[in-house]
């Protein structure tokens, strides 16, 4: 058997959660062709990668990403490749760049979607056109897209906060059907944000009936991740129960509004476990940090700035770049303004918000249904470090240094678990016949380097990354290969 690449001397962690084992891995024509006892494949390869002491695993799937724009601007996606990520799932939190047309812009003034138009960035009325644009950029990693509910709703109802009429609902169903035909792998919601926060269960169930026809899934940024966390989890589960056959993914699962909300993840997990016992397919994802991040406008609109100004650190502010890196209460003091007035003066702006408990984070990380998802928003001058450090932080800090979970279960949360949610049958497991999306890393050295002060730093300890059998990272150096595909398109 002639092989293109053989990885020799490695320890296989296959993504299923099963125990690691010593083997060589042979790759040809973009697929894994052989997994054999050490030394068995070396002679048959054109390229040999020496991986003594390293782990070889399926490439990581970032099930919760916001690379919608950067995949077009920087298609090599180095911030992901350097973390071992070979697939990014976008269109999350009910927002994205398609389906969206300019004519709805004026109606969305004052909503959380306003920025999409203010930035004068390209948008696409059809998901197919957007995914064509992604393909034309030849991304470095694979790309998948969810139909964003807020855009679907905006197309039919603008910023109207009413319930949709039967006619409006039928039009929303048509848009979702079109998006799924065009290659979307599910529907995402952002119930924390406008427009979208006025949508209820009664709106989602008919939309998910369309999603089910395509075996898609439903990802939700829930209505509240604070004191009303349990009501939000109940709402999400009720929606999934009433749309049987649609898998539910709870995005960036946490109790994130300071100490008074910490501990709520325990009863929330009990509710999810109970639903799972009843056969409802509920999963979630998590980034391994105690700060969340979003637009300052959302903190203002929801009143969070009044209460938590001391816990919000500025990532970016268009009118006040000098405020970046400072806490909002300190900036307000400098401006001799109240926190709300100061926040309004900083807009448009983004911030990180230190509102998640350490113990909660570790507890959620141990839940077997929780995937790793970065929620990273790269491109800002000072983004949340999760955009650069999520996957190596789990494998280094939480697996090796703290022993919160085993290496095998951590890799499963980055591979087969999200692959199952997304419906990627031939990825997420290291087995013969699978697509050769592969990462090689040193479990003793892997570590995140990105910090809140200096977030745009690549991690350490990942030596090789293959996408579809092509080396995009070799001996720690980006090769420039751009082998990514848009997944989910027929
Ligand atoms: Zn979100």
Whether 357 is in a domain gets the answer yes
CA of 25 to the centre of ligand 1 (A): 37
CA of 44 to the centre of ligand 1 (A): 47
CA of 288 to the centre of ligand 1 (A): 15
CA of 424 to the centre of ligand 1 (A): 22
On whether both 342 and 250 belong to a single domain, the answer is: no
pLDDT at residue 116, rounded to an integer: 84
On whether both 215 and 334 belong to a single domain, the answer is: no
d(CA 56, CA 39): 15
CA of 90 to the centre of ligand 1 (A): 11
CA of 130 to the centre of ligand 1 (A): 21
Q: Which residues surround ligand 1, an ion (CB under 5 A)?
A: 93, 221
- Order of strands across the sheet that contains 142-145: 60-62, 85-90, 142-145
CA of 57 to the centre of ligand 1 (A): 28
CA of 289 to the centre of ligand 1 (A): 15
Residue 10: give the domain boundaries.
3-58+430-478
Whether 490 is in a domain gets the answer no
On whether both 331 and 404 belong to a single domain, the answer is: no
pLDDT at residue 44, rounded to an integer: 83
CA of 264 to the centre of ligand 1 (A): 19
On whether both 32 and 112 belong to a single domain, the answer is: no
On whether both 160 and 182 belong to a single domain, the answer is: yes
Whether 487 is in a domain gets the answer no
- Domain count along the chain: 3
CA of 376 to the centre of ligand 1 (A): 10
CA of 335 to the centre of ligand 1 (A): 30
CATH number, domain containing residue 227:
3.20.20.140
Final residue in a domain of this structure, among 374, 394, 422:
422
CA of 280 to the centre of ligand 1 (A): 22
Whether 486 is in a domain gets the answer no
Nearest one of 347, 303, 306 to 323, comparing CA atoms: 347
CA of 93 to the centre of ligand 1 (A): 4
Q: Which residues pair with 350 in a beta bridge?
A: 295, 316
Whether 122 is in a domain gets the answer yes
d(CA 303, CA 339): 10
CA of 173 to the centre of ligand 1 (A): 23
On whether both 288 and 320 belong to a single domain, the answer is: no
CA of 338 to the centre of ligand 1 (A): 27
CA of 223 to the centre of ligand 1 (A): 10
pLDDT at residue 307, rounded to an integer: 87
CA of 293 to the centre of ligand 1 (A): 9
CA of 326 to the centre of ligand 1 (A): 23
CATH number, domain containing residue 440:
2.30.40.10
On whether both 461 and 313 belong to a single domain, the answer is: no
On whether both 208 and 341 belong to a single domain, the answer is: no
CA of 123 to the centre of ligand 1 (A): 20
CA of 47 to the centre of ligand 1 (A): 41
Final residue in a domain of this structure, among 377, 399, 422:
422
Whether 401 is in a domain gets the answer yes
pLDDT at residue 382, rounded to an integer: 87
Whether 381 is in a domain gets the answer yes
Task: Write the secondary structure of the chain as one string of H (helix), E (strand) and C (coil).
Answer: CCEEEEEEEEEECCCCCCCCEEEEEEEECCEEEEEECCCCCHHHEEEEEECCCCEEEECEEECCCCCCCHHHHCCCCHHHHCCCEEEEEECCCCCCCCCCCHHHCHHHCCCCCHHHHHCCCCCCCCHHHHHHHHHHCCCCCEEEECEEHHHHHHHHHCCCCCCCCHHHHHHHHHHHHHHHHHCCCEEEEECCCCCCCCCCHHHHHHHHHHHHHCCCEEEEECCCCCCCHHHHHHHHHHHHHHCCCCEEEECCCCCCCCHHHCCCHHHHHHHHHHHHHCCCCEEEEECCCCEEEEEHHHHHHCCHHHHHHHHEEEEEECCCHHHCCCEHHHHHHHHCCCHHHHHHHHCCEEEEEECCCHHHHHHHHCCCCEEECCCCCCCCCCCCCHHHHHHHHHHHHHHHHCCCCCHHHHHHHHCHHHHHHHCCCCCCCCCCCCECCEEEECCCCCECCCCCCCCCCCCECEEEEEECCEEEEECCEECCCCCCCECCCC
- Residue 246 tokens, joined: 């649609």
On whether both 122 and 230 belong to a single domain, the answer is: yes
Final residue in a domain of this structure, among 404, 422, 440:
422
On whether both 288 and 148 belong to a single domain, the answer is: yes
On whether both 184 and 285 belong to a single domain, the answer is: yes
CA of 257 to the centre of ligand 1 (A): 15
Whether 488 is in a domain gets the answer no
On whether both 89 and 19 belong to a single domain, the answer is: no
Residues 228-259 as b or e (16 or more Cβ within 10 Å = b): bbbebbebbbebbbebeebbbbbbbbbbbbbe
CA of 66 to the centre of ligand 1 (A): 9
CATH number, domain containing residue 344:
3.30.1490.130
pLDDT at residue 304, rounded to an integer: 86
- Is 175 within 8 Å of 152 (Cβ atoms)? yes
pLDDT at residue 380, rounded to an integer: 79
Consecutive sets of 10 residues in the chain, 490 residues long: mean pLDDT of each?
A: 93 98 96 90 90 96 97 97 98 97 90 83 94 98 98 96 97 98 98 94 97 98 96 98 97 95 97 98 98 91 88 93 93 95 94 96 98 92 94 98 98 98 98 98 98 96 98 97 93
CA of 473 to the centre of ligand 1 (A): 29
pLDDT at residue 119, rounded to an integer: 74
């Amino acid at each position: 058997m002639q092989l293109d690449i053989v990885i020799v001397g490695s320890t296989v962690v296959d993504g299923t959660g099963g125990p690691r084992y010593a083997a060589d891995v042979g790759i040809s024509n973009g697929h894994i062709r052989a997994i054999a006892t050490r030394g068995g494949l070396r002679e048959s390869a054109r390229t040999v990668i020496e991986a003594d002491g390293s782990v070889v695993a399926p490439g990581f799937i970032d099930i919760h990403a916001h690379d919608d724009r950067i995949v077009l601007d920087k298609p090599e996606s180095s911030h992901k490749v350097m973390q071992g990520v070979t697939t990014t799932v976008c269109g999350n939190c009910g927002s994205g760049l398609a389906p969206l047309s300019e004519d709805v812009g004026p109606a969305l003034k004052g909503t959380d979607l306003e920025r999409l138009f203010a930035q004068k960035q390209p948008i696409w009325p059809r998901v197919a056109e957007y995914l064509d644009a992604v393909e034309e950029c030849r991304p470095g990693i694979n790309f998948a897209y969810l139909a964003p509910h807020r855009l679907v709703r905006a197309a039919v109802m603008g910023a109207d906060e009413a319930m949709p009429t039967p006619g409006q609902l039928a039009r929303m169903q048509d848009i979702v059907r079109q998006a799924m035909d065009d290659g979307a792998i599910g529907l995402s919601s952002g119930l924390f944000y406008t427009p979208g926060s006025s949508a209820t269960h009664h709106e989602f169930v008919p939309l998910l009936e369309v999603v089910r026809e395509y075996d898609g899934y439903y990802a939700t940024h829930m209505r509240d991740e604070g004191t009303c966390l349990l009501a939000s989890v109940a709402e999400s589960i009720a929606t999934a129960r009433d749309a049987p056959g649609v898998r539910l993914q709870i995005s960036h699962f946490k109790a994130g509004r300071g100490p008074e909300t910490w501990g709520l993840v325990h009863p929330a997990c009990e509710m999810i476990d109970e639903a799972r016992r009843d056969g409802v397919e509920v999963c979630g994802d998590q980034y391994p940090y105690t700060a969340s991040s979003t637009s300052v406008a959302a903190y203002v609109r929801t009143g969070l700035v009044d209460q938590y100004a001391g816990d919000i650190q500025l990532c970016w502010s268009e009118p006040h770049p000098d405020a970046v890196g400072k806490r909002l209460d300190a900036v307000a003091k400098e401006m001799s303004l109240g926190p709300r007035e100061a926040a309004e003066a900083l807009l448009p702006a983004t911030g990180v918000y230190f509102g998640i408990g350490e113990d909660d984070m570790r507890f959620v990380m141990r839940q077997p249904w929780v995937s790793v998802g970065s929620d990273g928003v790269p491109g800002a001058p000072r983004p949340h470090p999760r955009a650069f450090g999520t996957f190596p932080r789990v494998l280094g800090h939480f697996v090796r240094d703290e022993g919160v979970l085993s290496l095998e279960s951590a890799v499963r949360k980055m591979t087969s678990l999200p692959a199952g949610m997304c419906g990627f049958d031939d990825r997420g497991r290291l087995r013969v016949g699978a697509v050769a999306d592969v990462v090689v890393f040193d479990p003793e050295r892997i570590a995140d380097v990105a910090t809140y002060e200096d977030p745009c730093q690549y991690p350490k300890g990942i030596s090789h990354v293959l996408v579809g059998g092509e080396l995009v990272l070799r001996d720690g150096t980006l090769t420039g290969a751009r082998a990514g595909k848009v997944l989910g398109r027929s």
